[in-house]
Amino acid sequence: MNLQQQEQFEREQASRTLPPPPAPEPAPGRVEARRVHFLSEIDRQTRAGSFRQMLRPGRRWSLALGTAVAAAASVAVLSLGSGSPVAPGKVPPASAASVQLLERAALVAAATPQTKVRAGQYTYIKTVGHTSVLSEKKTGEMELLRQDEGMEQWTSVDGSAQTLQRKNGSDALLPGTSGQGTLNSPTHKLLDGLPTDPQALLKRISDDVAENHGSGSDSTIGPHQEAFVTIGDLLRNGGTPPDLTAALYRAAALIPGVDIVPDAMDAAGRRGVAVARTHNGERIEWIFDESTVRLLGERTVLVEDNAWGKAGTIVSSVALIDSGIVDEAGQTN
């Protein structure tokens, strides 16, 4: 199957989408007050110090890195909306546009009815898309390969049963999740116990980053980017409670370097606006429907030429087609 056929297949597989929720606009005063709070919290966290750069192994739906990507570009002198300069080498706070979009997404999530979850149920998720991997040829040259990331997956809400994954019409049982799982592979029980205060939630995520991807891990992704990736993974979990989803969006607005990409397309061909963060030559984008502020999917785009391709290359793109809580593995919404 060639690239054009693959993209057409992904679009056809994306025909079933979730109904759009309402998208209330936050009051201007509330957005400004939250932004002032975010900036003061970011300043406090910046003074507290930073971690070593990190790279998570086995990240779900992400660019599969065999080696470190190109070195980070130098940060130019930027200025905030207030006109205050940002020194070279210091990452600026989340932009005003990204803070506003994330707050809108949080309000939509908070207005979503809570689903009562029972032991023995499963979180269900359906995606289409692709990711890229580098493979070494017999000649020693590196070849860029495209792998299908379309799948359906059922994960036990309490970790009591194995995960069922369906790809290309074939079913496979994945290793079970011990206990409540981890932030990289959480059960619904773990998600339900996470704090819903944005500052406390970001601290919980940052602590996990420091413990599992910090000093001695040979990671290169950086603590802020790792936190951004973790939040993105949790947002696409399929069973994240509405109040936690809202807190995740607001926690993301506390991360320095978060910005907006005005026009982005997911793997299903749906256009939207993206909240994004760039590190080491790659930009991770969360794509939202501009009207409903519903999360459509995620993609990774190169912003610098490197072994993966030229700047502008989309090395991974996954669209969220369906998700929810079901009674049995194999059942859909």
Higher per-residue confidence, 248 vs 119:
248
Q: How confident is the model at residue 88 (pLDDT cuts 50, 70, 90)?
A: low
In angstroms, the CA 137 to CA 321 distance is 35
User: What is residue 134's predicted lDDT score, i.e. its pLDDT?
Assistant: 81
User: What is residue 216's predicted lDDT score, i.e. its pLDDT?
Assistant: 61
User: What is residue 239's predicted lDDT score, i.e. its pLDDT?
Assistant: 84
Residue 258 has pLDDT above 90, yes or no: yes
Residue that the structure tokens 């970001």 belong to? 202
In angstroms, the CA 314 to CA 10 distance is 15
The per-residue pLDDT for range 216-254, each reduced to its tens digit, is 666 667 889 999 999 999 999 888 999 999 999 999 999
Segment 118-139 mean pLDDT: 90
The per-residue pLDDT for range 263-318, each reduced to its tens digit, is 999 999 999 999 999 999 999 999 999 999 999 999 999 999 988 889 999 999 99
Tell if the pTM clears 0.85, that is, is over it. Answer: no
DSSP 217: S
User: What is residue 65's predicted lDDT score, i.e. its pLDDT?
Assistant: 33
User: What is residue 87's predicted lDDT score, i.e. its pLDDT?
Assistant: 53
The mean-pLDDT minimum among 14-18, 146-150, 160-164 falls in 14-18
Q: Where exactly are the structural domains of the chain? A: 3-326
DSSP 60: T
Q: State the sign of the Cα–Cα–Cα–Cα dihedral 200, 206, 211, 215.
A: negative
Q: How confident is the model at residue 13 (pLDDT cuts 50, 70, 90)?
A: very low
Beta-carbon count within 10 A of 17 CB: 16
User: What is residue 44's predicted lDDT score, i.e. its pLDDT?
Assistant: 37
